[in-house]
């Protein structure tokens, strides 16, 4: 690990001001992704700004009837909140399908959204990787890419976003609240939060350097049956091959978001109109234009069949 200086801040304003002073700095929250990557010198910040004790650790009701989830709320606490369990069951289900009990006790809402890909070549510093080292190439294209993206990828990068939580947030129409160094606040719909890899896969979100996530808001509950089905190589403590998150209403209408297929949680609202007629049409719409390799082509039928299973389960 490269050495770094460390400071703990006690307000969002102090956090962004610290970044303005030290532009090579990074925020650290739970540390479960950042430290992992720093040990491998994939991330090499010169300064760490510890935001883990900011008072952004509450889940509050919003005036619109939804919830505002503080950026520092731990994954365990978010999954356990009585309102989340009752009204946003998909979110609890997605959270508890991710990582381990130990990791969820540390992982934060903001850190989870910003966790980086699990592409093995991103982790292996001996390999070319445009995300880790822009312009070096992509070892996954033509390499082992069973875990990689089937939609939204580019010639520069075919990595997936590994978060389970983000899939639920996407289906629930979450928005990400931030504040920048000038003190300017904004809310970014999760649909617009992640950047397509294009030619610049190292740029992953629309956040500006030093922009701090303060909260994630959920609109008022939409009811329905919430199911998160994660398909993985072992029954627990493994990243998704694919994941299907649904909210299905009594009349068969609803929402679907996928994990493990692209650089962001994947949702195509227009495809959802086909939901009352079953999985096929929806899967076709979601995966339109998919580009597969011989190693990850299995993801297309797996999505459709998992969705079919989940819809049958929702009918009860």
Partner 1 sequence: MQTSEEFELSRRGVLAGGAASVATVTLVPIGTAAAAAPAAKSPPTAKVAFEVNGKKRELELDTRTSLLDALREHLHLTGTKKGCDHGQCGACTVIVDGRRINSCLTLAVMHEGDKITTIEGLGTPDKMHAMQDAFVTHDGYQCGYCTPGQICSAVAVLDEIKAGIPSHVTADLGAAPAVTKVELRERMSGNICRCGAYSNIIDAITDVAGVKA
Ligand X SMILES: Cc1cc2nc3c(=O)[nH]c(=O)nc-3n(C[C@H](O)[C@H](O)[C@H](O)COP(=O)(O)OP(=O)(O)OC[C@H]3O[C@@H](n4cnc5c(N)ncnc54)[C@H](O)[C@@H]3O)c2cc1C
- Contact residues for partner 1, defined by CB under 8 A: 1, 3-6, 8, 28, 30-32, 35-36, 39, 48, 50, 52, 76, 79-80, 85-86, 89, 92-93, 96-97, 99-103, 105-106, 235-237
Q: From the list 158, 246, 248, 256, which residue makes contact with ligand SF4 (rule: CB under 6 A)?
A: 158
User: Under rule CB under 6 A, which residues in 218-247 are in contact with ligand X?
Assistant: 239
Asked if 224 and 248 touch (Cβ cutoff 8 Å), the reply is yes
Report strand pairing: 212-218 vs 67-70. antiparallel
* Least distance in angstroms from the C-beta of 35 to partner 1: 5
Q: From the list 33, 52, 108, 130, which residue makes contact with ligand SF4 (rule: CB under 6 A)?
A: 130
State whether residue 230 is helix, strand or coil. Answer: strand
Q: Is 117 in the site for ligand SF4 (CB under 6 A)?
A: yes
Token pair for residue 11? 């307000």
Stretch 25-64: interaction string toward ligand X, x if CB under 6 A:
-xxxxxxxxx-x--------------x-------------
Q: From the list 19, 27, 121, 266, which residue makes contact with ligand SF4 (rule: CB under 6 A)?
A: 121
Between CA 161 and CA 122 the distance in angstroms is: 12
Q: How many CA atoms lie within 13 A of 246 on its CB side?
A: 30
- Least Cα distance to 103 among 242, 237, 8, 240 occurs for 237
Decide whether 110 or 275 has the Cβ nearer to ligand X: 110
Decide whether 68 or 132 has the Cβ nearer to ligand SF4: 132
Decide whether 19 or 122 has the Cβ nearer to ligand SF4: 122
Token pair for residue 27? 């925020």
* Least distance in angstroms from the C-beta of 163 to ligand SF4: 15
Decide whether 234 or 294 has the Cβ nearer to partner 1: 234
Q: Is 117 in the site for ligand X (CB under 6 A)?
A: no
Phi-psi domain of 68 (left: phi exceeds 0; alpha: psi -120 through 50; beta: other)? beta
Q: Is 193 in the site for ligand SF4 (CB under 6 A)?
A: no
Element (H, E) at 177: strand 175-179
Between CA 48 and CA 182 the distance in angstroms is: 20
Q: From the list 92, 117, 154, 163, which residue makes contact with ligand X (rule: CB under 6 A)?
A: 163
Decide whether 149 or 246 has the Cβ nearer to ligand SF4: 149
Q: Is 112 in the site for ligand X (CB under 6 A)?
A: yes
Which of ligand SF4, partner 1, ligand X, none does residue 235 bind to, with CB < 5 to 8 Å depending on kind? partner 1
CB atoms within 10 A of CB 195: 16
User: Under rule CB under 6 A, which residues in 62-81 are in contact with ligand X?
Assistant: 71
Between CA 199 and CA 190 the distance in angstroms is: 22
Asked if 74 and 84 touch (Cβ cutoff 8 Å), the reply is no
End-to-end CA distance of the chain: 51
């Amino acid at each position: 690990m490269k050495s770094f200086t460390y400071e703990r801040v006690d307000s969002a304003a102090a956090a962004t001001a610290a970044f303005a002073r030290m532009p090579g700095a990074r925020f650290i929250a739970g540390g479960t992704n950042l430290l992992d990557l720093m040990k491998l010198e994939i991330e090499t910040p010169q300064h760490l700004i510890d935001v883990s004790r900011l008072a952004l650790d509450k889940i509050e009701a919003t005036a619109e009837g939804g919830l505002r989830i503080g950026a520092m709320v731990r994954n365990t606490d978010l999954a356990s909140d009585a309102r989340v369990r009752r009204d946003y069951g998909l979110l609890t289900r997605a959270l508890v399908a991710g990582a381990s009990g130990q990791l969820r006790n540390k992982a934060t809402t903001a850190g989870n959204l910003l966790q980086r890909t699990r592409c093995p070549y991103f982790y292996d510093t001996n390999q070319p990787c445009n995300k880790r080292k822009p312009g070096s190439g992509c070892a996954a294209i033509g390499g082992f890419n069973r875990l990689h993206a089937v939609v939204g990828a580019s010639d520069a990068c075919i990595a997936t976003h590994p978060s389970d939580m983000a899939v639920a947030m996407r289906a629930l129409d979450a928005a990400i609240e931030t504040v920048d160094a000038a003190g300017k606040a904004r809310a970014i719909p999760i649909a617009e939060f992640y950047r397509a890899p294009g030619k610049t896969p190292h740029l992953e979100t629309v956040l500006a350097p030093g922009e701090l996530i303060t909260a994630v808001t959920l609109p008022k509950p939409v009811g329905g049956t919430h199911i998160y089905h994660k398909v993985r190589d072992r029954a627990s403590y493994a990243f998704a091959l694919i994941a299907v998150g649904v909210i299905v209403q009594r009349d068969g209408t609803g929402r679907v978001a996928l994990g493990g297929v692209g650089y962001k949680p994947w949702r195509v609202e227009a495809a959802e109109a086909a939901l009352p007629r079953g999985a096929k049409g929806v899967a076709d719409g979601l995966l339109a234009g998919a580009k597969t390799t011989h190693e990850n082509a299995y993801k297309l039928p797996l999505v459709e069949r998992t969705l079919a299973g989940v819809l049958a389960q929702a009918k009860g």
